[in-house]
Amino acid sequence: MSNSKPIRRIAVIGTGVIGASWAAQYLAKGLEVIATDIAPDAEATLQKFVKSAWPALERLGLSPGASLTNLKFTADLAEAVVGVDLVQENGPERLDFKQKLYKQLDELLPPDVIIASSSSGIKMSDIQSGVTSHPERCVIGHPFNPPHLIPLVEVVGGVKTSEAIVQRAIAFYKSIGKKAVRLNKEMPGHVANRLQAALAREVYYLVAEDVVSAADVDDALSWGPGLRWGIMGNMMLNHLAGGTGGIEQALRGLGGPMAAWWKTLGSPEMTPEFQHKLIDRVQAEVGSRTIDELEAERDELLIGLLELRNKRLETATSQKVAAE
């Protein structure tokens, strides 16, 4: 199997929220996209999403050759994968569906085509178990929503995935500006969703226990640690918390109290009553704002942060080059 074949044509399978966003991302990077979905209104919905996302992508910077005309659509799976270099699968989060689909794709595709799944939690070892010919080219390439704005992609192979494919997938995602994170072991939910789940568990617990309102817990996160997390991750921030002593000092000073807090963290059960309580609290926070309005606010702030981080990266790179 060739590991040097350039990836220029992408098949996007499933054009829901994630698939449509992936399509916009790939188009912005100057790639050809052939999208497929069996939903009756899928093509119109996809076109609408990509057009609405395009101004933000233009603001962040389009790659040479980027064009909306590079998007094609077909409801026929076999037609969609003809001549592609990589498949980005965004089907329902159901193991039986993915196993059947990957068996079909394995039969349709040449062995040098990567099949990457956007699955948010299913392990690739389970997905590829029914693939008989070339399971080694199947890999998880899990984005964060919305993929056309959030750089993160989690890459992890299954037990039958070759290391060469994992490395090729990482190299490809990095080549289009993604922040590819390599998982050395498979975990349900991968890494970022597990981190979200751990945080959500305590957020939901505090809201359901009437410790804090939904609005105030969101403010506590977005105006507190969330601001820092948009700049550095938890490990580096803990290192800074230790001052000149770094992480070692931080663990000496905060390790004990943190371990004590762990013992008091909530373990709520997702009962109907629990869910209804959360829904009521969130609706109170939302008020009269629409989903479109909230998405627009989210995306505008995301773009601003990305522009700031990109500017900082460009400055650091220029300073490094000048120093050399």
Same domain as 215, residue 156: no
Residue 293 lies inside a defined structural domain of this protein: no
If asked whether residues 210 and 167 sit together in one domain, one would say: no
Residues 29, 137 share a domain:
yes
- Residue with structure tokens 């699968």? 89
pLDDT band at 314 (very low <50, low <70, confident <90, very high): confident
Question: Which of 159, 182, 205 finishes a domain?
Answer: 182
In this structure, is residue 127 part of a structural domain?
A: yes
Eight-class DSSP state of 155: E
Burial 129-148 (b: 16+ CB within 10 A, else e): bebeebbbbbbbbbbbebbb
**Given this model, what pLDDT does residue 3 score?**
57
Domain span including residue 197: 192-287
Is residue 13 located within the same domain as residue 155?
yes
Is the domain of 22 the same as that of 171? yes
Average pLDDT over residues 274-294: 96
For the chain, the domain total comes to: 2
Here the CATH number for the domain that contains residue 244 is 1.10.1040.10
pLDDT in tens, 112-145: 999 999 999 999 999 999 899 999 999 999 999 9
Ramachandran region of residue 10, left (φ > 0), alpha (ψ -120 to 50) or beta?
A: beta
Whether the pLDDT of residue 1 is over 50: the answer is no
DSSP H/E element including 179: strand 179-182
- 196 in the same domain as 157: no
In a domain, residue 303? The reply is: no
Residue at a domain's end among 115, 147, 182: 182
61 and 157 co-located in one domain: yes
| Average pLDDT across the chain, whole number | 95
Mean pLDDT across 276-288? 96
pLDDT higher than threshold 80 for residue 111:
yes
Mean pLDDT of 30-38: 98
Q: Rounded to 5 degrees, what are φ and ψ at 12?
A: -105, 110
Are 153 and 42 found together in one domain? yes
Domain identity same for 13 and 110: yes
**CATH code for the domain of 26:** 3.40.50.720
* Residues 252-271: tens digit of each pLDDT: 999 999 999 999 999 999 99
List CB contacts of 153: < 8 A, sequence separation 6 or more.
Answer: 141, 142, 143, 144, 147, 173, 178, 179, 180, 181
Tell me: do 121 and 267 sit in the same domain.
no
CA-atom Rg of the chain in angstroms: 22
Q: How high is the pLDDT of residue 5?
A: 79
Residues 6+ apart with CB under 8 A from 77: 13, 36, 104, 108
Nearest to 96 by CA among 118, 122, 72, 75: 122
With 0.85 as the threshold, say if the pTM is over it. yes
Asked, for residue 324, whether it belongs to a domain, the answer is no
- How confident is the model over 170-192, as a mean pLDDT? 96
Distance, in Å, from the CA atom of 219 to the CA atom of 143, rounded to the nearest integer, reads: 25
pLDDT tens, residue by residue, 200-228 = 999 999 999 999 999 999 999 999 999 99
